[in-house]
Structure 1
Amino acid sequence: MFSTLKCALFTAVLAVAAGQALAESHTVTFDNRCGRGTPTLISQTGQVLSTGGGYTINGPLRGAIAYLQTGSCGFNGDGCTLVEITLVNPTTAGSGSSVDLSLIPPHSFSVTTGFGYVGACAPAGADCNNANCNTAFHQPSDTFVQVACQQNDANLVVSFI
């Protein structure tokens, strides 16, 4: 009897945990006030996820990139201001979402670019309006520019001005 109860309890805990994992959802939207270009969101595996419309994923979004394709950006945002995006529900302290701007070559300043979390982590975010902004990575050790969100279901707005 005790082992049957233990097995049932374990199965119930797994079912609840699986339901919570399936409930994870994140949305990335764009606000293009630049008057030109195509907002672009690309997955870690090189799949184009959006060319301007909102993108929602039911689960984590790891290692995505966003930029404004003005005709001079490479497929991976080369030559342009890059937003690096990981949206994931935290499972331990410090393991949640992290977003940053990057100007590490081959990326370079192209247009004023920013991002902001929507919801529980608002108004956390960053903007970069020139090639020397202190809110973007210029070298890999600039980890202080990462903006974290330790809340479930973090959503993001990426803006171009």
Structure 2
Amino acid sequence: MSIQIKTTHTFNAPRELVFKALTESEHLKNWWGPKGWTFEVSKSDFRPGGVFLYSQKPADGNVMWVKFVYIEIIEPEKIVYTSFFSDEEGNTVRAPFDANWPIETLNTITLTEDGGKTTLTMIVSPVSPTEEEIKTFETSKEMAQEGYTGTFGQLDEYLTKI
């Protein structure tokens, strides 16, 4: 059995629009991340091997940096990337909320369209985790799932405005 978090969400929008909202900085800044947090894009190079570097900050806390490295992009149906917590230069650091969160996760997003609605499936799994990282990932599944669900709810809302 693989260690993963799987989230599925159906949007009342065509696949091309959902894909754009997932991949273009001017859209992402309007819905990505926890509600009420500020979101800033530092680098956006959307291509295999390209890097997406951003920061997010709660109203009452410290800034967190995250880096994606894109592996595979099939427009408008699939995005595969690895994700790391980082510093503002993009150097990998431990997760600020838990030192035992996996250093690297593999994220696979697929989009399927049916009757004008788009179903997004996202699978997140740790890359080469230690035993401790596996435990942390397993115990954090529910929290992470709730986070993704909330974020996709914000995307739902945003899609009605564009």
TM-score (norm 1): 0.33
Q: Computing the radius of gyration over CA atoms, which structure comes out larger, 1 or 2?
A: 1
Name the TM-score, length of structure 2 as normaliser: 0.33
Structure with higher helix content: 2
